[in-house]
Amino acid sequence: MRVKNFIDPSHVYRPDIGDLCSKSNKEHFRNFENGPLQERIKKTYKEMHTYQTVELVRKKYAQWGRMERTRMSIMQALAEMDLMVDESDPDVDFPNSFHAYQTAEAIRQAHPDKDWLQLVGLIHDLGKVMARWGEPQWCVVGDTFPVGCAFQKSIVYRDSTFQDNPDSHDVRYNTPCGIYEPNCGLDKVSMSWGHDEYMYRVLKFNECTIPEEGFYIVRYHSFYPWHTAGDYDHLCNEQDRAMLPWVREFNKFDLYTKSEDLPNVEELKPYYAALVEKYCPGSLRW
């Protein structure tokens, strides 16, 4: 699957990252054109864009929405991320648990008064635990997108990976709105199945007490075609547009803190364990 001259559209729309990294370093992130991990990444996205259909997503919502897999705490789930390497990520090739602490610590520095946002930085990717339970990574990681309507141009590898997706040949799903009403709101739109939607549902099911902005970030932080490239606004309502700045603010820390400079997790655990007990205490159903 050779992709020539592919440019991630999000490069054009990146938020202002301030002091998180220099302008030159900024351009190294989300490089889907070349690098040592490209074949793995392209394979993951090809499978994702082939198999993520309306039918598949409905099945996954039903399968995982019952929260019958296990019981464990947030900190136990975080420990599972020690063994999880995201096969769709062009920026890092180390366990996801380090990225969790990198994101949280950057938010803690920039927003010391928003402990709930720091916690969201820590837990936003914990839905990737599905991969530890046998779910293939194309059904767990990577950028998300709506199913049931036309696949927009800003989706990564859009022009080379959807040919074998049956929904791309179904007239019901090939208009901008597809099966949805204009401005229906993202809550009524079925997203490709992955860690965002699963973790959102885990937090909601277990009645965690983070603010609504936090739930929204968890649910849509991988929806790059919307929050970074500007697509799918025609499906959004005013609530979505009001929440968009929060998702974009979070994206600065989720994306631009990835580096090989790994944090001392043992030193940080007590602080974040206290935040977990404040907002998501005890043993949760997954």
Enumerate the known binding-site residues for substrate. Answer: 30, 86-88, 128, 142-143, 221-222
Q: List residues forming the annotated binding site for Fe cation.
A: 99, 124-125, 195, 221, 254
Q: List residues forming the annotated binding site.
A: 30, 86-88, 99, 124-125, 128, 142-143, 195, 221-222, 254
CA separation, residue 277 to residues 47, 200, 215 (Å): 38, 18, 17
Q: What is the 3-state secondary structure (H, E, C) of the chain?
A: CCCCCCCCCHHHHCCCCCCCCCHHHHCCCCCCCCCCCHHHHHHHHHHHHHHCCHHHHHHHHHHHHCCCCCEECHHHHHHHHHHCCCCCCCCCCCCHHHHHHHHHHHHHHHCCCCHHHHHHHHHCCHHHHHHHCCCCHHHCCCCCCECCCCCCCCCCCHHHHCCCCHHHHCHHHCCCCCCCCCCCCHHHCCECCCHHHHHHHHHHHCCCCCCHHHHHHHHHCCCHHHHCCCCCHHHCCHHHHHHHHHHHHHHHHHHHCCCCCCCCHHHHHHHHHHHHHHHCCCCEEC
